[in-house]
Structure 1
Amino acid sequence: MLKKLLLTMATGTLLSSNVWADDLSGTWQQIDDKTGAAKAIIQIRQEADKSYSGTIVKVTPRPGYQARELCQNCPAPFTNQPILGMKILQGLKHVAGTGTYNHGRVIDPLAGKIYNAKIRLNSSKRRLTLRANLGVSVLGRNQTWIRID
């Protein structure tokens, strides 16, 4: 009887923690894949259609880089939009039973390019790897984001 009760409690705890753990919602520190420096703080939230989007809530000043306020070389509707407050990540859908999110789009406001995006949460659920590409995943780039909330 006691074993059965403990097993039921452990299973319930495991299942409830997995539901929360695979949720991307929260605040993430974006790390530059070229320099390793912090770039921005991104707030990710789940939309009504169950997809995930991310908005820049803080731009991290970096030595040697001139901070830009507007997305100057970006395609419409991002042209001349303020970088702070910009929704840079859209459309990510969770792949059931995994820590993977596919079918998203991400814009690099400094380069003015829009990329296909997918995300994989690591086992601790405290780091994610964003894979961005222009059509072929093998030709893309990875970026690490660290959960800060």
Structure 2
Amino acid sequence: MKTIFLFLMGLILSTSIYAQESSVFGVWKTIDDETGEAKAYVEIYKDQNDTMSGKIIKLLQDDEDTICEKCPGDKKNQKVIGMQIIWDMIKNGDQWIDGEVLKPENGKTYSCKVWVEGDKLQVRGYIGFVYRTQTWLRVE
């Protein structure tokens, strides 16, 4: 009986650890797909309406007071740290889809799809059939 209990506890713990590792939620280090350089830390979180969002919590190359000069609307001339750059993502199986991602460097907004591959987060921004995918790394 004790052996069965220990086996079940081990199974439950390993399943919860796996689920945590494969979750999109947490802090991720963004990697520029053009330069290969780390740019920022982004916190991915669930909103009150069960959509997924992400905001910049730390810049790795720029000054902490950097503002988004090219951003549209209410994000224009706002600090990049604390800025929501991913929003309205809806869960669809193992992916989050139909949201948007903002690239603060150029102020452009793209349709977005996000999914986890192992310990990496794939963030795809696209316009129509043209897309670009960045690989982000989980921050421990």
112, 120, 127: which is aligned to 1:127?
120
**Aligned partners of 1:28, 1:60: CA distance in 2, in Å?**
12
Q: What are the superposed Cα offsets for residues 10-62 of structure 1, whole Å, 9 maximum, x if unpaired? A: 65345434543443221110000000000111111111112111111111117
Instruction: Report the equivalent of 1:57.
Output: 57
Instruction: Report the equivalent of 1:31.
Output: 31
**Does residue 147 of the first structure (1) align with residue 138 of the second (2)?**
yes
Instruction: Report the equivalent of 1:107.
Output: 102
Instruction: Report the equivalent of 2:71.
Output: 74
**Aligned partners of 2:131, 2:122: CA distance in 1, in Å?**
12
Which structure is higher in strand share?
2
2:101 alignment partner AA: V
**Aligned partners of 2:64, 2:15: CA distance in 1, in Å?**
44
Give the alignment of 1:37-52 within 5 angstroms.
Answer: 37-52=37-52
104, 112, 116: which is aligned to 2:111?
116
Count of residue pairs brought into register by the alignment: 140
TM-score, normalised relative to structure 1: 0.79
1:104 alignment partner AA: G
**Equivalent residues of 2:122, 2:134 under 8 A apart:** yes
Q: What are the superposed Cα offsets for residues 81-106 of structure 1, whole Å, 9 maximum, x if unpaired? A: 1112111111122223x2x2111211
Instruction: Report the equivalent of 2:91.
Output: 94
Query: 1:46/1:32 Cα in 2 relative to 1: closer, same or farther (>3 Å)?
Result: same
What value does the CA root-mean-square deviation take over the aligned residues? 2.5
Structure 2 residue ranges without an equivalent (≥5): none
Structure 1 residue ranges without an equivalent (≥5): none
